[in-house]
Amino acid sequence: MKLPVYKDVLKMGEEAVKLALAPVKAARAKKQAELEMCKLDERIATKEAKIHELCCSEDVDFGEIIDMQDSLALAERRKEQYSKILVEMFPDT
């Protein structure tokens, strides 16, 4: 990478600097959303395992199973929302 001439940078102004950083900031935001989706994938897998465990226990706690199903449904919905946001805000062009 070649460094810019300092006097040229001073002439650029704040708006030009923001414009130059826009693609990097957009990429960072997209990666942040993708990371959140990965975290949700992990949360979903954990909740599914917990539901399976609850169903296989000797003393089945139906209330806890329902609570865990609700929690799982919320995590799945959030993942769908992140997917939609990624498609709408960061279209592949």
pLDDT, tens only, 36-60: 999 999 999 999 999 999 999 999 9
**Is 75 among the domain residues?**
yes
Which residues, in sequence order, are CB contacts of 30 under 8 Å at separation 6+? 86, 89, 90
Domain count, the chain: 1
pLDDT of residue 93: 55
Q: Is 48 part of a structural domain of the chain?
A: yes
Residues 6+ apart with CB under 8 A from 85: 33
- 19 in a domain, yes or no? yes
In a domain, 5, yes or no: no
Higher pLDDT, 25 or 13: 25
Q: Rounded to two decimals, what is the model's pTM? A: 0.76
Band of the pLDDT at 1, cuts 50, 70, 90? confident
Q: Are 37 and 83 in contact (CB under 8 A)?
A: yes
3 is a domain residue:
no
The SS3 assignment for 63 reads helix
pLDDT at 92 over 90: no
| Owning domain of residue 24 | 10-89
CB 61 within 8 A of CB 54: yes
